[in-house]
Amino acid sequence: MKPFQKCPFLFGRLAARDNFIDRIEDRALLKQLLSSHVNTMLVSPRRWGNSSLVRMATDELCTEQPDL
Ligand SMILES: Nc1ncnc2c1ncn2[C@@H]1O[C@H](COP(=O)(O)OP(=O)(O)OP(=O)(O)O)[C@@H](O)[C@H]1O
Ligand SMILES: [Mg+2]
């Protein structure tokens, strides 16, 4: 890679929008639980994308159901 060329990989930040891939079923389930007012806890090893999943799911929910 040439110096100063933009790095295509994301480090040190939550994955969001175009950087967020997959997690289709997890995202759908989390959104269903949250919109049904079910308290939900995610359990996984560190750095497996928990915060990014929650951020993405809540962003989508807020857009889809602004009154939630
Ligand atoms: N869905 C995703 N698509 C692409 N990259 C992802 C995704 N989820 C996470 N990542 C990558 O993994 C990194 C860690 O994600 P994140 O901070 O969401 O994990 P975490 O489980 O909350 O970590 P921590 O244990 O530090 O709280 C992100 O910076 C990003 O590079
Ligand atoms: Mg986290």
For 66, the 3-state DSSP assignment is: coil
Burial class (CB in 10 A: 0-12, 13-18, 19+), 39: exposed
Q: Which residues of the chain have pLDDT under 70?
A: 1-3
Domain ranges across the chain: 25-34+48-68
Give the residue carrying structure tokens 């891939």. 21
- 58 in contact with ligand 1, CB cutoff 6 A: no
Whole-number Å distance between alpha carbons of 18 and 29: 21
Note the pLDDT of residue 37: 94
Return the amino acid letter for 43: V
Nearest residue to 62 via CA among 34, 25, 20: 34
pTM: 0.89
Ligand 2 centroid from CA 65, angstroms: 24
Q: What is the pLDDT of residues 49-63, one digit of tens each?
A: 999 999 999 999 999
